[in-house]
Amino acid sequence: MSATSSTASVPAEDWPEALYHTLKAAGVGLMAYVPDAGHASLIKRFSGDNAVVTNVLSTEEEGVAIASGAWLGGMRSVLLMQSSGVGNCINMLSLPVQARMPLLMLVTMRGEWDEFNPWQVPMGRATQSVLEAVGITVFRAETPEDLVATVEQAANMAFHGDQQVAVLLGQRLLGKKKW
Protein backbone atom coordinates (compact mmCIF):
# COMPACT_ATOMS: atom_id res chain seq x y z
CA MET A 1 0.00 0.00 0.00
CA SER A 2 1.18 3.54 -0.72
CA ALA A 3 2.19 6.02 1.97
CA THR A 4 -1.01 7.96 1.30
CA SER A 5 -3.31 5.01 1.76
CA SER A 6 -6.37 5.72 3.83
CA THR A 7 -4.96 3.38 6.48
CA ALA A 8 -1.80 5.45 6.95
CA SER A 9 -1.36 7.65 9.98
CA VAL A 10 -0.55 11.23 9.03
CA PRO A 11 1.21 13.51 11.52
CA ALA A 12 -0.60 16.84 11.83
CA GLU A 13 2.24 18.87 10.30
CA ASP A 14 2.60 16.52 7.30
CA TRP A 15 -0.95 16.53 5.94
CA PRO A 16 -0.23 18.92 3.04
CA GLU A 17 2.52 16.59 1.80
CA ALA A 18 0.28 13.51 2.21
CA LEU A 19 -2.53 15.34 0.41
CA TYR A 20 -0.21 16.26 -2.47
CA HIS A 21 0.82 12.60 -2.89
CA THR A 22 -2.81 11.48 -2.69
CA LEU A 23 -3.80 13.84 -5.49
CA LYS A 24 -0.80 12.84 -7.61
CA ALA A 25 -1.71 9.15 -7.12
CA ALA A 26 -5.22 10.02 -8.36
CA GLY A 27 -3.71 11.34 -11.59
CA VAL A 28 -4.29 15.05 -11.04
CA GLY A 29 -2.41 16.95 -13.74
CA LEU A 30 -3.95 20.41 -13.32
CA MET A 31 -4.58 22.50 -10.23
CA ALA A 32 -6.69 25.67 -10.44
CA TYR A 33 -6.87 27.94 -7.41
CA VAL A 34 -7.57 31.28 -5.90
CA PRO A 35 -4.66 32.02 -3.53
CA ASP A 36 -5.55 31.07 0.05
CA ALA A 37 -3.45 30.62 3.19
CA GLY A 38 -5.21 27.33 3.98
CA HIS A 39 -4.07 25.88 0.66
CA ALA A 40 -0.64 27.58 0.62
CA SER A 41 1.46 24.44 1.23
CA LEU A 42 -0.43 22.41 -1.36
CA ILE A 43 -0.21 25.26 -3.89
CA LYS A 44 3.56 25.49 -3.31
CA ARG A 45 4.01 21.73 -3.83
CA PHE A 46 1.97 21.64 -7.04
CA SER A 47 3.58 24.83 -8.36
CA GLY A 48 7.00 23.19 -7.98
CA ASP A 49 5.89 20.07 -9.88
CA ASN A 50 6.71 20.44 -13.58
CA ALA A 51 4.34 17.58 -14.42
CA VAL A 52 1.35 19.58 -13.16
CA VAL A 53 -0.22 22.64 -14.77
CA THR A 54 -1.17 25.27 -12.19
CA ASN A 55 -3.63 28.02 -12.91
CA VAL A 56 -4.14 31.05 -10.68
CA LEU A 57 -7.74 32.24 -10.92
CA SER A 58 -9.13 35.72 -10.54
CA THR A 59 -12.45 34.23 -9.41
CA GLU A 60 -13.53 30.74 -8.40
CA GLU A 61 -16.08 30.10 -11.13
CA GLU A 62 -13.29 30.28 -13.70
CA GLY A 63 -11.90 27.17 -12.02
CA VAL A 64 -15.08 25.21 -12.66
CA ALA A 65 -14.82 26.00 -16.39
CA ILE A 66 -11.10 25.19 -16.44
CA ALA A 67 -11.67 21.87 -14.65
CA SER A 68 -14.41 21.00 -17.15
CA GLY A 69 -12.18 21.89 -20.08
CA ALA A 70 -9.31 19.90 -18.61
CA TRP A 71 -11.53 16.83 -18.37
CA LEU A 72 -12.67 17.25 -21.97
CA GLY A 73 -8.99 17.45 -22.92
CA GLY A 74 -8.19 14.22 -21.08
CA MET A 75 -6.72 15.69 -17.89
CA ARG A 76 -7.77 15.28 -14.28
CA SER A 77 -7.83 18.39 -12.13
CA VAL A 78 -8.46 19.69 -8.66
CA LEU A 79 -10.03 23.06 -7.85
CA LEU A 80 -8.88 24.77 -4.64
CA MET A 81 -10.93 27.51 -3.04
CA GLN A 82 -12.13 28.96 0.25
CA SER A 83 -15.70 28.57 1.50
CA SER A 84 -16.35 32.23 0.74
CA GLY A 85 -15.68 31.46 -2.93
CA VAL A 86 -18.32 28.76 -3.14
CA GLY A 87 -21.02 31.41 -3.47
CA ASN A 88 -19.25 32.73 -6.57
CA CYS A 89 -19.55 29.33 -8.29
CA ILE A 90 -23.20 28.44 -7.96
CA ASN A 91 -24.28 29.22 -11.55
CA MET A 92 -21.13 27.74 -13.09
CA LEU A 93 -21.50 24.49 -11.12
CA SER A 94 -24.42 23.62 -13.39
CA LEU A 95 -21.89 22.87 -16.15
CA PRO A 96 -20.25 19.77 -14.61
CA VAL A 97 -23.44 18.70 -12.83
CA GLN A 98 -25.63 18.75 -15.95
CA ALA A 99 -22.90 17.44 -18.27
CA ARG A 100 -21.93 14.77 -15.69
CA MET A 101 -18.27 15.72 -15.84
CA PRO A 102 -15.98 14.91 -12.93
CA LEU A 103 -15.21 17.77 -10.57
CA LEU A 104 -12.98 17.53 -7.50
CA MET A 105 -12.94 20.58 -5.22
CA LEU A 106 -11.01 21.12 -2.00
CA VAL A 107 -12.63 23.89 0.02
CA THR A 108 -10.94 25.46 3.03
CA MET A 109 -13.58 26.49 5.52
CA ARG A 110 -13.96 29.89 7.12
CA GLY A 111 -16.55 31.12 9.59
CA GLU A 112 -16.12 28.15 11.90
CA TRP A 113 -13.76 27.25 14.73
CA ASP A 114 -11.87 30.27 16.11
CA GLU A 115 -12.93 32.59 13.25
CA PHE A 116 -11.97 36.23 13.81
CA ASN A 117 -13.80 37.72 10.81
CA PRO A 118 -17.60 37.87 11.24
CA TRP A 119 -18.05 38.42 7.49
CA GLN A 120 -16.89 34.84 6.90
CA VAL A 121 -19.56 33.26 9.14
CA PRO A 122 -22.67 33.34 6.87
CA MET A 123 -21.03 31.59 3.90
CA GLY A 124 -19.20 29.24 6.24
CA ARG A 125 -22.57 28.17 7.62
CA ALA A 126 -24.10 27.82 4.16
CA THR A 127 -21.28 26.16 2.20
CA GLN A 128 -22.24 22.51 2.61
CA SER A 129 -25.98 22.99 2.11
CA VAL A 130 -25.45 25.26 -0.92
CA LEU A 131 -23.18 22.72 -2.60
CA GLU A 132 -25.57 19.87 -1.86
CA ALA A 133 -28.52 21.91 -3.15
CA VAL A 134 -26.92 22.11 -6.61
CA GLY A 135 -26.08 18.40 -6.67
CA ILE A 136 -22.50 18.29 -5.39
CA THR A 137 -21.53 15.42 -3.06
CA VAL A 138 -19.91 16.90 0.05
CA PHE A 139 -17.47 15.33 2.50
CA ARG A 140 -15.80 16.97 5.51
CA ALA A 141 -12.33 16.42 6.92
CA GLU A 142 -11.36 17.63 10.39
CA THR A 143 -8.14 15.64 10.98
CA PRO A 144 -5.13 14.77 8.79
CA GLU A 145 -6.17 11.10 8.80
CA ASP A 146 -9.70 12.01 7.74
CA LEU A 147 -8.39 14.28 5.01
CA VAL A 148 -6.22 11.75 3.21
CA ALA A 149 -8.85 8.99 3.29
CA THR A 150 -11.62 11.40 2.32
CA VAL A 151 -9.73 12.89 -0.62
CA GLU A 152 -8.84 9.41 -1.87
CA GLN A 153 -12.53 8.50 -1.86
CA ALA A 154 -13.61 11.83 -3.36
CA ALA A 155 -11.09 11.51 -6.21
CA ASN A 156 -12.26 7.97 -6.89
CA MET A 157 -15.90 9.08 -7.01
CA ALA A 158 -15.11 12.06 -9.23
CA PHE A 159 -12.72 10.47 -11.70
CA HIS A 160 -14.16 6.95 -11.87
CA GLY A 161 -17.83 7.78 -11.33
CA ASP A 162 -18.08 11.08 -13.21
CA GLN A 163 -19.36 12.77 -10.06
CA GLN A 164 -18.93 16.25 -8.64
CA VAL A 165 -17.40 16.12 -5.17
CA ALA A 166 -16.26 18.76 -2.70
CA VAL A 167 -14.12 18.03 0.35
CA LEU A 168 -14.50 20.67 3.05
CA LEU A 169 -11.33 21.15 5.07
CA GLY A 170 -12.49 22.20 8.53
CA GLN A 171 -10.99 25.18 10.26
CA ARG A 172 -9.77 22.97 13.12
CA LEU A 173 -7.58 21.10 10.63
CA LEU A 174 -6.25 24.32 9.11
CA GLY A 175 -5.67 26.18 12.35
CA LYS A 176 -6.46 29.76 13.20
CA LYS A 177 -5.86 32.24 10.43
CA LYS A 178 -3.19 34.74 11.43
CA TRP A 179 -2.99 38.28 10.11
CATH number for the domain that contains residue 36: 3.40.50.970
The whole-chain average pLDDT of the chain stands at 88
1 located within any domain: no
Write down the pLDDT at residue 178.
61
Q: Is 37 among the domain residues?
A: yes
Does 7 reside within a domain?
Answer: no
CA distances to 20, 39, 175 from 109, rounded to whole Å, are 19, 11, 10
Determine the structural domain holding residue 72 and report its residue range.
12-112+127-174
- Domain contains 77: yes
50 has a pLDDT exceeding 60: yes
Q: How many domains does the chain have?
A: 1
Q: Over the stretch 72-82, which tens digit does the pLDDT of each residue have? A: 999 999 999 99
- In this predicted structure, the answer to whether residue 172 has a pLDDT above a threshold of 60 is yes
pLDDT score, position 24: 97
Question: Is 3 within a domain?
Answer: no
Q: Give a yes or no: residue 47 inside a domain.
A: yes
The answer to the question of residue 60 being in a domain is yes
Residues 5-33 have a mean pLDDT of 82
- Distances from the Cα of 179 to the Cα of 3, 175, 176, angstroms: 34, 13, 10
